[in-house]
Amino acid sequence: MVKSAKLTPMMEQYQKVKDQYKDAFLFYRLGDFYEMFNDDAVKGAQILELTLTARNKNSSNPIPMCGIPHKAVESYINTLVDKGYKVAICEQMEDPRVAKGMVKRAVTQLLTPGTKTETGAENAKNNNYLTALEYDKDSKKYGFAYAELSTGELKTSVLSNVDTLINEVMSLQTKEIIVDDNVSEDDINTFNKLGILVSYQSDINIEDDMNNLTNNLINSLEKKTAELLITYIIKTQKRSLSHMKAAESYRPTEFLKLDHNSQYNLELNKNIRTNKKSGSLLWLLDETKTAMGGRKLKTWLDRPLIVKKQIIQRQNAVQELLDHYYERNEISDILVKVYDLERLAGKVSFGSVNGRDLIQLQSSLEQIPKLRYEIASMDATSFNSIYDALDPVDDVAQMINDSIIDEPPISVTDGDLIKDGYNKTLDDYRDAMNNGKKWIAELENKERNATGISNLKIGYNHVFGYYIEVSKANLNKLPEDRYERKQTLTNAERFSTPELKEKEKLIIEAQEKSKTLEYAIFSKVRENVKKSIKRLQKLATAVSTLDVLQSFAVISENYRLVKPSLNDNHDLEIIDGRHPVVEKVMGHQSYVPNNVKMDPDTNVLLITGPNMSGKSTYMRQLALAVIMTQIGCFVAAKSAQMPIFDKIFTRIGAADDLISGESTFMVEMKESNEAIQNATENSLILFDEIGRGTATYDGMALAQSIIEYVHNNIHAKTLFSTHYHELTELETTLHHLTNVHVGAVEKNGELVFLHKVKKGAADKSYGIHVAKLAGLPDKLLSRADNILETLENKDNDNDKVMNIQTSPVAKDETKNDEEEHQLSLFNDDNPKNKKQNVADIKIINEIKRMDLMSKTPMEIMNAVYKWKQKIEK
């Protein structure tokens, strides 16, 4: 870096600003360009594909630089912010033409991944959350807050542990988190691994007009975290934040708990294969007509309800819309004409709203009386609160209608924005301009006649003002006493006359005063709209709620969904249930529906059947039915009744955790442990192929012990799919477990999947048949058949080996010879080695003495590992 003593005054000014924003790209305004210098230029040119040049190229210390036209800057800023960078906008604070000395400059806004408000049409239905974190060492709890800057949403909570914290951060899909010095390096490293930008804010400094945002927070940790977040927003935005809503406290336990793994496994928001919305539950449910309705739908999907009364209120509203077909269609058509009231209110607050935005606001407000009429026509008590909240804010609509032209320009400073007749002074200026332009046209005709030059013309530009242009071939026809040369072109000369100068002064003065007055009028209209922001936000909440409810009604009708009934006795019965997303993709005729029946005495369904037969789909469709029910939607079934669940845990699919570097099996065990440690009798657990990530007998032992532990200790509704057919024997000893299987038949040596779930256990896994369907070579498959036959014959000799004791403690430790001989499988078929046999007997005795019901799956896994090591020795 060049020493500041050698820098020019401009570069000294640049460096002083840059030193305040070291972690951001500094866009430094120079005339019509934003310039980047030094390291910013080198890195920025590479990322944005700009031409890298240098300032003072011929000096011994050239300064790297690159520039962006100010009119095109938005797309470049978005590119950097979307890639996780910060951008500081440094503007000229005075007109260079009148500045004395160096033009004053200052940063007017710091744009960051979490404070981005311009989302574009493709992301209009997505929230962009900025989060903040505070750690309290005494209580060992986290204060957590998040805000959506474009809509003004502000929420706070206290989280008990780091797992809950990560779950909230992942569910919100936050791109930036604010921390202070109390947050540990371990937590910060976790956020970095998740690709979340960590920003530091050590001090808290809330302006007087923002204090009211946290006044209703009782918990001191929540309040401190919210104030940390607000301070950062004030520091970065440097503009009005009057649209920010008062902080609302929430608890994750107030909603159905779905950790981010379950959201991912169930494909609630994104398709696992494409990582896009298409193919997810959100994709199916989204028939919303407004951007704010789309965002609310996603919020409801992320936080399903657990209060029966609230669920029924939503269900009743959906039913009313289904019962009133014509009114619902009218409501849908009206909502299409409603723009994003939440983000329009934010733009008004920021001062970034333009004339077209105000016309959109007016048009939206004009739809509200129509919505009220349709709701009143239904005469449904379910919509009373929404009806009351549909305030048309007609005074704002009328003010915009009176002042702003129907098709205003994007710019608010170039005029042609305010209607004629709205302001008398403005009308006078416009009259002067119109008459002046008429006079200019008359002068042009007069000069043509006087000079005899038929192509003489009078024009205008911002540099030279009005001019008379004459081609060089006609210069000899001009009178010498009146024409004063202003500009020379290749084929023409431009002149002025005393008359033209006089009229030019009057016209330009009227133009400038007109533009200034128009902007002043527009600013006053904007400030008056600003006074109604809270009313607009309340209206937006009602409209978005109505939008989601009509969306539920539309998809319920289109996809034959039914209203589920809720009970308090742990009874679950779904008749002809379907996975709605799979059915939409496959088509209704191709999908095979299935029942899920778990009465109050049935807690575990043990599911067997071949791969690709539909076990995972069967499990997922139950989870989706629960989620759809508890967001107030109807479900894909012929009929459904179910209890209200407090949590859903899933262990579906097999993938390594690339963030932490853990194996598939470790991820499997951690997710299983998460369910076992936190599930209650009111939870839903979905375990798919637990134990497949390790050796066969290790996996089988773990699978059985997990089933027994869940059955005997947790009593949660659990679906457990497995290929370990030996586990189906558990039905005889675990009285709240039922075997079911997904049917498949062999026809002419070919496997045919029935996709139908039936009672009882599957007779075989059909693994080689599935491999054949996948197209493996015949020679390979034939060899696999031979190996399978050998293994099955061997297994028949040891058919009791995995009959692990299901009672807590073995009743009789005296073993007969037949029982002792079972350990031949554990010593690798080497019964001649007597020393090895003695060691194996000790291990068998340890197994039989172990109280399985008192052990966690992780403890059992560790024990199995130790036994394996002893055997190998």
Report whether 612 belongs to an annotated binding site.
yes
Q: How far is CA 281 from the centre of its chain?
A: 14
What number of H helices and E strands is found in the chain?
A: 28, 27
* Residue pair 652/620 in contact by the 8 Å Cβ criterion: yes
* Residue pair 770/611 in contact by the 8 Å Cβ criterion: yes
Long-range contacts of residues 474-478, Cβ cutoff 8 Å, at least 24 apart: 477/451, 477/452, 477/453, 478/451, 478/453
Report whether 364 belongs to an annotated binding site.
no
Kindly tell me the sign of the dihedral angle through the C-alpha atoms of 350, 351, 352, 358: positive
Measured CA to CA in angstroms, residue 726 lies from 399, 446, 793, 794, 861 at distances of: 76, 107, 16, 15, 19
Q: What is the DSSP letter of 139?
A: T
What's the burial of 250, exposed, middle or buried (CB within 10 Å: 0-12/13-18/19+)?
middle
Q: Which residues, 6+ apart, have CB-to-CB distance to 95 below 8 Å?
A: none
CA distance 438 to 202: 63
Report whether 616 belongs to an annotated binding site.
yes
* Residue pair 668/632 in contact by the 8 Å Cβ criterion: no
Report whether 565 belongs to an annotated binding site.
no
CA distance 782 to 716: 43
Q: How many CB atoms lie within 10 A of CB 278?
A: 12
Report whether 31 belongs to an annotated binding site.
no
Report whether 252 belongs to an annotated binding site.
no
CA distance 471 to 23: 57
**Hey, what are 493's tokens?**
């000369």
* Residue pair 547/289 in contact by the 8 Å Cβ criterion: yes
* Residue pair 508/316 in contact by the 8 Å Cβ criterion: no
Nearest to 547 by CA among 344, 370, 386: 386
Kindly tell me the sign of the dihedral angle through the C-alpha atoms of 506, 507, 510, 513: negative
Specify binding-site residues for ATP. Answer: 609-616
Specify binding-site residues. Answer: 609-616
